[in-house]
Structure 1
Amino acid sequence: MAAPTSSFVRGHRRTGSDVQFIERTRLDAVKAMNKELAKLIQTGPPGLQERIRAEFDEFEKLFGRYLQEAGHAIMWDKIRLVSDDLVKTYSELQSPETNAIKALLNKLVVVKLNGGLGTSMGCKGPKSIISVRNDLTFLDLTVQQIEHLNKTYGTDVPLVLMNSFNTDEDTEKILQRYQQVKVKIFTFNQSRYPRISRESLLPIANSFNTENMESWYPPGHGDVYQSIANSKLLDQFIADGKKYLFMSNIDNLGATVDLNILNFLLNPKTGSAPEFVMEVTDKTRADVKGGTLVEYEGKLRLLEIAQVPKDHVDEFKSVSKFKIFNTNNLWISLDAIKRVVEENTLHMEIIVNPKTLDNGLNVVQLETAVGAAIKSFEGAIGINVPRRRFLPVKTTSDLLIVMSNLYSMKTGALEMNPKRSFPSVPLVKLGSHFTKIKDYLHRFASIPDMLELDHLTVSGDVTFGKNVTLKGTVIIIANHGDRIDIPSGAVLENKIVSGNLRILDH
């Protein structure tokens, strides 16, 4: 975690008289923040002021910790690699009997994290409404998956979306189209926190009105625990007899409901079931920055790269030492969420996210990650799942993979094409000309055949004709001012293409 950048912390060591100075100044900063938050609450709509106050209470706790927890929260020499008994392999799990599946599913709630925008791919509005396959969006595919479960097993698994103030209004409009679908869809909003000036350590907002949304931010998916409790949905699901929620990012197309994991949780062979399960998978060189599970002071803990001291970052990225990473597919006991929220025993490391706004103002966002709460739950474990359960779409490079013939689609879920001779996904790197979806779609007359592709790098002004086939390792580089057009029907196998040219058909 980055150290606070405020002047009273910067340059001071917490020894001797400095401790008193820092503590006194910290209290002054907290008082000043509380005063500004009280003013902001008064500017909120009368019907929302109680909810705003509850959210700001959590923000104040986070801010107080931010001022106090300077430096890295992790002491590297206390880290231990996870023991085998804390990370199960997926193959150890047993499939449920067919006649038991309905009872299992009736105790499940599916939660999708839906707070993100599609701005990184040049889109406006929620990321979940980007078309990813056959004109179907992330949200369409998710609803199809749950509807298939409910129809197949005669169950009533609800779908819950955690929206942010950025995505809520657009999502609610889109949900109208699912009124005839056999899925009960619920939504709740995560908190809305004020961005902090890096210089004054005070909110940059002077009013709660929605005109200046740049003054506010959603505080990361770690906010899900408090927000689902505040929404009253947590109590409702517990009263309905639900036991576990399965939570994942809405852009992870591999995160489908897994009956083997659910069976393991609801029918443990020995002892009590874990309150928290994190799906992890084997790390490849493409995942070296992903958070990993470690043992720390006797507890299972999620270690993120932001917490790692600089001189240990290379060690953290080692595929041979830290062999697994967090997929952010989580299975959590509803009763346990209620307990840790009510007893205030939930603890997640602070992610300090500095930003520079369009007007040049330097601000700080204080965020938390949902998986970091693993240490707050009893009997928490990891399950090492097959790579197929981690299929995120963060960039157009990812989008090319899921739109290609590497996958087929069945009831909203993507399945690896059985004709691919090995199960690994090719490494695809599309350059800046492909970043925005509009440009990406313009540069592909049709999605290439990638069934035998291992690696693709494309840089510069490159276009692809129809029915192009890519095999092995293909690198296409158009230097500045050059253009490369791959003609329709071209077959590129283990090719490096550069310069300013068109490739002749084979």
Structure 2
Amino acid sequence: MNSREIDAATAQLLQRYGFEDIPFEKLKQQMLRGELGEAQNRITGIVEPPEAGDLQALPPLGSDLRRALTERGQEAMRRGEVAAVILAGGMATRFGGVVKAAVEVLDGKSFLELKLEDVRAVAERADARIPVYLMSSFATDEAIRTMAEPLSTERVPIETFSQFISLRIAPDGALFRDESGALSPHAPGHGDLTFGLRRSGVLEAFRARGGRVLMMSNVDNLTATLDPAIIGAHLEFGAALTAEMAPKEPGDKGGAPARVDGRAQIVEAFRFPEDFDQERIPVFNTNTFVLDAAAIDAEFALTWFAVNKAVDGKPAIQFERLVGELTSFLDSAFLRVERHGPDARFQPIKTPEDMDKERPDIVKALKARGSL
């Protein structure tokens, strides 16, 4: 890439958000040689539905086992072993192009404020100190830091770390420019998680204080709360990663647990072989994970995907990596959770219509958990 093609403001952004750690030129050349693209995204191994023992159900509310898991999770919290990670790098294009975390959802409170209220309530009940780590992006970083600073407390301290940054390219490999002629930076996906935690020093500091477990969720999935029972289940499994799976409903698309050459892992929808019937798998990935801090303190050779986009009506390509692929490297457990009712854990809000539809059930669930 010719540095003369990069204006000063974009160069500053690239330097600040770790562009040097993205193998941009290598990926571009692979794309031009036809080594990256939709055909190459598909898994070539033997792909089969998960086996019966691969998916464990979260015990129901009120059961003895649920209470035991809750106590185990709270004990870990009291020992200072648990933190929450909230993915807050997205822009809400369907809410007027603002920072998604800042969108007001309920009684004047934003997604981020409601997520943090839940962590505070859990910390109070457990009498624990639970840090929160917010993963921002170049597009949201300043806003997230401004929002987080007054919300940080001694019991729930907040730190922000950022995803990386890359540049979109045109199909011919040239740097993509929008209608105004400006370059088009983008965040390379939530697969940046472990890399960003390590680059920022957040993971090292958490482990140095005795931290063992990180619970990751999307900022717009308000019922993916910091449930001590989920932490307890993760510890009971003894896995390096526990991924929450929700029942599929008509129209759902997303990654799902499958066996690839005998190993259970999350396979993104676009990676399944074309002749594989994804409806054979009754659940899909909610993008809520519990992660062992020591296990993720390593370099992972995550796959880079060339993703086709339309920007200002023109074709563009961006390179992304996905956090779910960690399950192909780490011993992973898959936990089936509810989608509706008081124990629901997957009600993401992607559009204003989603907000109107889901708000009553979200309010009921959060009130039942003492998070409102």
> What TM-score comes out, normalization by structure 2 length?
0.84
Report if aligned partners of 1:88, 1:383 keep a CA contact under 8 Å in 2: yes
Q: What residue number does 1:498 align with?
A: none
Q: Which residue in the other structure is 1:385 paired with?
A: 337
Does the CA contact (< 8 Å) of 1:90 and 1:383 recur in 2?
A: yes
CA distance in 1, matches of 2:236, 2:192: 29
Letter in 1 for 2:110: T
Task: Please name the residue that 2:255 is paired with.
Answer: 291
| TM superposition outliers: structure 1 runs of 4+ over 6 Å | none
Conserved in 2, the CA contact under 8 Å of 1:354 and 1:363? yes
Which string of whole-angstrom CA distances, capped at 9 and with x for unpartnered residues, describes residues 15-43 of structure 1?
A: xxxxxxxxxxxxxxxxxxxx437975998
| 1:242 counterpart (190, 207, 211) | 211
Contact 1:252 1:390 in 2 (8 A): yes
- After superposition, the C-alpha distances for 1:122-170 in whole angstroms (9 at most, x for unaligned) are x232111111112211111111111112222221111111101111112
CA change 1:327–1:37 in 2 (3 A) is farther
- The alpha carbon displacement at 1:406 in A equals 7.3
Give the 3 Å change call, closer, same or farther, for CA 406–111 of structure 1 in structure 2.
closer
Distance verdict in 2 for CA 1:163–1:230, change over 3 Å:
same
Q: Give the direction of change, closer, same or farther, for the CA distance of 1:202–1:402 in structure 2 (3 Å limit).
A: same
Q: What is the rounded CA distance, in whole Å, between the counterparts of 1:152 and 1:88 in structure 2?
A: 27
Contact map agreement 2:91 2:139 (CA 8 A) in 1:
yes
Aligned-pair CA distance for 1:193: 0.3
2:322 corresponds to: 369
Determine the structure 2 residue equivalent to 1:441.
none
Q: Is residue 222 of structure 2 the alignment partner of residue 258 of structure 1?
A: no
Partner of 2:307: 353
User: How many residues are treated as equivalent by the alignment?
Assistant: 356
Q: Check 1:60–1:54 CA distance in 2 against 1; reply closer, same or farther (3 A cut).
A: same
Q: Is the 8 A contact 1:80 1:294 kept in 2?
A: yes
Aligned to 2:158: 185
Secondary structure of 2:259's aligned partner: strand
- For the pair 1:82 / 2:50, whether they are aligned, the reply is yes
Deviation of the 1:410 alpha carbon:
4.4
- Tell me the CA shift for residue 89 of structure 1: 1.6
Q: Distance in 2 between matches of 1:284 and 1:155?
A: 37
Note the C-alpha offset of 1:78. Answer: 1.8
Aligned counterpart in structure 2 of residue 141 of structure 1, from 100, 107, 114: 114
Q: Shift of residue 81 of structure 1?
A: 1.1
Deviation, structure 1 residue 44: 3.5
2:175 maps to 1:203:
yes
Q: Which residue of 2 aligns with 1:486?
A: none
Q: CA deviation at 1:76?
A: 7.1
Structure 1, gaps ≥5 residues long = 1-34, 206-210, 416-506
SS state at 1:95 partner: helix
Which of 81, 94, 113 matches 1:120?
A: 94
What stretches of structure 2 of length at least 5 have no aligned partner?
A: none
Which one has more relative contact order, counting CA pairs under 8 Å at least 6 apart? 2
Shift of 1:110: 0.6
Higher Cα Rg: structure 1 or 2? 1
Q: Would you say the 8 A contact 1:132–1:402 is kept in 2?
A: no
1:373-414 CA-to-partner distances (Å, cap 9, x unmatched) read 21011x212111111110100112210123337742646969
Tell whether the 8 Å contact from 1:407 to 1:414 is kept in structure 2 after alignment: no
- Other-structure match for 1:96: 68
The TM-score normalised by the length of structure 1 is 0.63
Assess if the C-alpha contact under 8 Å between 1:148 and 1:411 holds in 2.
no
SS of structure 2 residue aligned to 1:330: strand
Contact 1:141/1:412, CA 8 A, preserved across alignment = no
Q: Percent identity?
A: 25
The 1-side partners of 2:291 and 2:361 are apart by 34
Alpha-carbon distance in structure 2 between the residues aligned to 1:65 and 1:277: 33
> For the structure 1 residues 151 and 65, does the alpha-carbon distance in structure 2 shift closer, same or farther, using more than 3 Å as the test?
farther
Quick one: structure 1 residues 301 and 202, their matched pair in 2 at CA, closer, same or farther if it must change by over 3 Å? farther
2:211 is aligned with what amino acid?
A: K
